[in-house]
Chain A
Amino acid sequence: NAGVMQNPRHLVRRRGQEARLRCSPMKGHSHVYWYRQLPEEGLKFMVYLQKENIIDESGMPKERFSAEFPKEGPSILRIQQVVRGDSAAYFCASSPPVGDEQYFGPGTRLTVT
Protein backbone atom coordinates (compact mmCIF):
# COMPACT_ATOMS: atom_id res chain seq x y z
CA ASN A 1 0.00 0.00 0.00
CA ALA A 2 1.67 3.18 -1.19
CA GLY A 3 0.04 5.40 1.38
CA VAL A 4 -1.68 8.69 0.73
CA MET A 5 -0.32 10.34 -2.40
CA GLN A 6 -0.33 14.04 -3.10
CA ASN A 7 0.76 15.86 -6.21
CA PRO A 8 2.36 18.02 -7.06
CA ARG A 9 4.74 18.22 -4.11
CA HIS A 10 5.63 21.79 -4.95
CA LEU A 11 3.52 24.26 -6.89
CA VAL A 12 4.35 27.82 -7.83
CA ARG A 13 1.60 30.12 -9.05
CA ARG A 14 1.44 33.81 -9.83
CA ARG A 15 -1.21 35.95 -8.15
CA GLY A 16 -4.53 35.52 -9.91
CA GLN A 17 -3.84 32.04 -11.28
CA GLU A 18 -5.60 28.86 -10.25
CA ALA A 19 -4.04 26.10 -8.13
CA ARG A 20 -5.23 22.49 -8.27
CA LEU A 21 -3.94 20.11 -5.63
CA ARG A 22 -4.55 16.37 -5.90
CA CYS A 23 -4.87 13.71 -3.24
CA SER A 24 -5.17 9.96 -3.76
CA PRO A 25 -6.26 8.24 -0.54
CA MET A 26 -4.95 4.93 0.65
CA LYS A 27 -6.51 1.88 -0.95
CA GLY A 28 -9.83 1.09 0.72
CA HIS A 29 -10.16 4.52 2.32
CA SER A 30 -13.32 6.43 1.56
CA HIS A 31 -12.82 9.52 3.74
CA VAL A 32 -10.56 12.39 2.75
CA TYR A 33 -9.56 15.46 4.77
CA TRP A 34 -7.71 18.58 3.70
CA TYR A 35 -5.61 20.70 6.08
CA ARG A 36 -3.60 23.87 5.59
CA GLN A 37 -0.43 24.75 7.47
CA LEU A 38 0.75 28.34 7.42
CA PRO A 39 4.33 29.10 8.48
CA GLU A 40 4.86 28.69 12.23
CA GLU A 41 1.33 27.36 12.65
CA GLY A 42 -0.29 24.01 13.26
CA LEU A 43 -2.44 22.24 10.72
CA LYS A 44 -5.86 23.82 10.26
CA PHE A 45 -8.75 21.66 9.15
CA MET A 46 -10.39 22.79 5.93
CA VAL A 47 -12.79 20.14 4.62
CA TYR A 48 -13.86 16.52 5.08
CA LEU A 49 -15.23 14.60 2.11
CA GLN A 50 -16.54 11.17 1.29
CA LYS A 51 -17.01 9.93 -2.26
CA GLU A 52 -19.15 12.52 -4.10
CA ASN A 53 -20.13 14.24 -0.84
CA ILE A 54 -18.82 17.12 1.21
CA ILE A 55 -19.42 16.18 4.85
CA ASP A 56 -17.90 19.16 6.67
CA GLU A 57 -16.50 22.29 5.04
CA SER A 58 -16.51 24.45 8.14
CA GLY A 59 -12.82 25.26 7.75
CA MET A 60 -12.92 26.29 4.12
CA PRO A 61 -12.60 29.97 3.24
CA LYS A 62 -15.91 31.18 1.84
CA GLU A 63 -14.52 32.37 -1.46
CA ARG A 64 -12.10 31.02 -4.05
CA PHE A 65 -11.65 27.59 -2.41
CA SER A 66 -13.48 24.43 -3.39
CA ALA A 67 -12.96 20.70 -2.95
CA GLU A 68 -14.31 17.56 -4.53
CA PHE A 69 -13.88 13.82 -4.21
CA PRO A 70 -15.42 12.25 -7.30
CA LYS A 71 -16.56 8.66 -7.66
CA GLU A 72 -13.46 7.94 -9.71
CA GLY A 73 -10.11 9.61 -9.34
CA PRO A 74 -8.36 11.68 -6.71
CA SER A 75 -9.73 14.35 -4.45
CA ILE A 76 -9.03 17.87 -5.73
CA LEU A 77 -8.56 21.05 -3.74
CA ARG A 78 -8.98 24.01 -6.05
CA ILE A 79 -7.95 27.55 -5.25
CA GLN A 80 -9.03 30.19 -7.73
CA GLN A 81 -7.34 33.57 -8.18
CA VAL A 82 -4.59 32.78 -5.69
CA VAL A 83 -3.17 35.50 -3.45
CA ARG A 84 0.11 35.64 -1.53
CA GLY A 85 -1.69 34.65 1.68
CA ASP A 86 -2.56 31.28 0.13
CA SER A 87 1.12 30.30 0.26
CA ALA A 88 1.19 27.36 2.65
CA ALA A 89 1.62 23.62 2.92
CA TYR A 90 -1.58 21.73 2.13
CA PHE A 91 -1.94 18.27 3.60
CA CYS A 92 -4.39 15.58 2.72
CA ALA A 93 -5.32 12.68 5.00
CA SER A 94 -7.52 9.66 4.52
CA SER A 95 -9.27 7.23 6.83
CA PRO A 96 -11.07 3.92 6.31
CA PRO A 97 -14.87 3.54 6.25
CA VAL A 98 -14.79 2.32 9.86
CA GLY A 99 -12.48 3.87 12.41
CA ASP A 100 -11.01 7.31 12.66
CA GLU A 101 -7.25 7.05 12.35
CA GLN A 102 -6.11 9.50 9.71
CA TYR A 103 -3.14 8.75 7.47
CA PHE A 104 -1.39 11.78 6.06
CA GLY A 105 0.15 12.49 2.72
CA PRO A 106 3.49 14.27 2.27
CA GLY A 107 1.83 17.60 1.52
CA THR A 108 1.87 20.09 -1.34
CA ARG A 109 3.82 23.27 -0.79
CA LEU A 110 2.12 26.12 -2.63
CA THR A 111 4.05 29.30 -3.27
CA VAL A 112 2.27 32.31 -4.72
CA THR A 113 4.56 34.90 -6.31
Chain B
Amino acid sequence: AQRVTQPEKLLSVFKGAPVELKCNYSYSGSPELFWYVQYSRQRLQLLLRHISRESIKGFTADLNKGETSFHLKKPFAQEEDSAMYYCALSRAGGGADGLTFGKGTHLIIQP
Protein backbone atom coordinates (compact mmCIF):
# COMPACT_ATOMS: atom_id res chain seq x y z
CA ALA B 1 0.00 0.00 0.00
CA GLN B 2 1.09 3.54 -0.64
CA ARG B 3 2.22 5.86 2.13
CA VAL B 4 3.16 9.53 2.51
CA THR B 5 5.41 10.73 5.32
CA GLN B 6 5.86 14.30 6.49
CA PRO B 7 8.44 14.07 9.26
CA GLU B 8 7.93 17.56 10.68
CA LYS B 9 4.75 18.25 12.57
CA LEU B 10 5.75 21.87 13.12
CA LEU B 11 8.22 24.11 11.33
CA SER B 12 8.96 27.64 12.47
CA VAL B 13 11.16 29.98 10.44
CA PHE B 14 11.75 33.71 10.34
CA LYS B 15 10.38 35.92 7.61
CA GLY B 16 12.81 36.10 4.71
CA ALA B 17 14.47 32.77 5.56
CA PRO B 18 14.34 29.79 3.21
CA VAL B 19 11.67 27.15 3.82
CA GLU B 20 11.74 23.45 3.05
CA LEU B 21 8.86 21.16 3.98
CA LYS B 22 9.80 17.52 3.62
CA CYS B 23 7.68 14.82 2.03
CA ASN B 24 8.64 11.22 1.32
CA TYR B 25 6.45 8.61 -0.24
CA SER B 26 6.34 4.89 -0.89
CA TYR B 27 4.46 3.43 -3.83
CA SER B 28 5.44 0.68 -6.24
CA GLY B 29 3.93 2.37 -9.32
CA SER B 30 4.30 5.85 -10.82
CA PRO B 31 2.46 8.23 -8.54
CA GLU B 32 1.36 11.77 -8.99
CA LEU B 33 2.32 14.04 -6.08
CA PHE B 34 0.56 17.14 -4.79
CA TRP B 35 0.94 19.78 -2.12
CA TYR B 36 -2.26 21.05 -0.53
CA VAL B 37 -2.42 24.04 1.81
CA GLN B 38 -4.95 25.07 4.43
CA TYR B 39 -4.80 28.67 5.63
CA SER B 40 -6.46 29.60 8.89
CA ARG B 41 -10.26 29.30 8.69
CA GLN B 42 -10.14 28.35 5.02
CA ARG B 43 -10.70 25.08 3.22
CA LEU B 44 -8.00 22.81 1.89
CA GLN B 45 -6.80 23.90 -1.53
CA LEU B 46 -4.32 22.65 -4.08
CA LEU B 47 -1.00 24.51 -4.02
CA LEU B 48 0.90 22.66 -6.72
CA ARG B 49 1.40 19.31 -8.40
CA HIS B 50 4.54 17.74 -9.74
CA ILE B 51 3.43 17.30 -13.33
CA SER B 52 2.76 21.00 -13.80
CA ARG B 53 6.29 21.97 -12.74
CA GLU B 54 5.03 25.44 -11.83
CA SER B 55 6.03 27.87 -9.13
CA ILE B 56 2.99 28.94 -7.12
CA LYS B 57 3.29 31.79 -4.60
CA GLY B 58 7.04 31.35 -4.83
CA PHE B 59 6.87 27.66 -3.88
CA THR B 60 8.39 24.88 -5.95
CA ALA B 61 8.56 21.13 -5.50
CA ASP B 62 10.58 18.61 -7.49
CA LEU B 63 9.79 14.94 -7.63
CA ASN B 64 12.92 12.90 -6.87
CA LYS B 65 12.11 9.32 -7.79
CA GLY B 66 15.47 8.02 -6.58
CA GLU B 67 14.89 9.38 -3.08
CA THR B 68 11.09 9.04 -3.32
CA SER B 69 10.73 12.61 -2.15
CA PHE B 70 8.68 15.65 -3.08
CA HIS B 71 9.94 18.41 -0.83
CA LEU B 72 8.30 21.85 -0.95
CA LYS B 73 10.65 24.82 -1.05
CA LYS B 74 10.53 28.58 -1.01
CA PRO B 75 13.65 30.76 -0.95
CA PHE B 76 12.23 33.63 1.11
CA ALA B 77 9.36 32.96 3.51
CA GLN B 78 6.57 35.49 3.95
CA GLU B 79 4.22 35.84 6.92
CA GLU B 80 1.21 34.94 4.75
CA ASP B 81 2.79 31.52 4.14
CA SER B 82 1.84 30.47 7.67
CA ALA B 83 -0.56 27.53 7.23
CA MET B 84 -0.95 23.75 7.37
CA TYR B 85 0.70 22.00 4.43
CA TYR B 86 -0.21 18.48 3.32
CA CYS B 87 1.64 16.32 0.84
CA ALA B 88 -0.59 13.90 -1.07
CA LEU B 89 -0.20 11.05 -3.54
CA SER B 90 -2.44 9.76 -6.31
CA ARG B 91 -1.96 6.36 -7.89
CA ALA B 92 -3.94 7.25 -10.97
CA GLY B 93 -1.41 9.32 -12.92
CA GLY B 94 -3.86 11.96 -14.11
CA GLY B 95 -7.08 10.09 -13.53
CA ALA B 96 -9.50 10.26 -10.64
CA ASP B 97 -8.38 8.52 -7.47
CA GLY B 98 -8.64 8.81 -3.73
CA LEU B 99 -5.61 10.67 -2.41
CA THR B 100 -3.21 9.42 0.25
CA PHE B 101 -2.22 12.28 2.55
CA GLY B 102 0.63 12.83 4.95
CA LYS B 103 -0.13 14.03 8.47
CA GLY B 104 0.70 17.60 7.60
CA THR B 105 3.26 20.20 8.64
CA HIS B 106 2.22 23.35 10.44
CA LEU B 107 4.39 26.14 9.05
CA ILE B 108 4.76 29.24 11.17
CA ILE B 109 6.55 32.27 9.77
CA GLN B 110 7.78 34.55 12.50
CA PRO B 111 8.11 38.29 11.83
Contact = CB atoms under 8 A, between A and B. Distances in A.
Interface string A81-113: 000000000010001000111111111000000
A106 B110 CA distance: 27
Nearest to A50: B96
B95 A100 contact: yes
B49 to A, nearest CB: 8
Interface residues on A, range: 20 to 34
Given A43-B86, A100-B32, A105 B43 contact: yes
Contacts of A107: 43
Contact of A48 (B44, B97, B103): B97
Contact of B92 (A59, A100, A101): A100
B46 interface: yes
Nearest to B9: A40
Given A91-B44, A100-B90, A104-B45, A43 B96 contact: no
A43 B84 CA distance: 12
B94 A100 contact: yes
B103 A42 contact: yes
A44 B103 CA distance: 9
Given A100-B32, A100-B94, A100-B95, A45 B100 contact: yes
Contact of B86 (A42, A56, A99, A100): A42
Nearest to B93: A100
B83 interface: no
B99 interface: yes
B104 A106 contact: no
A41 interface: yes
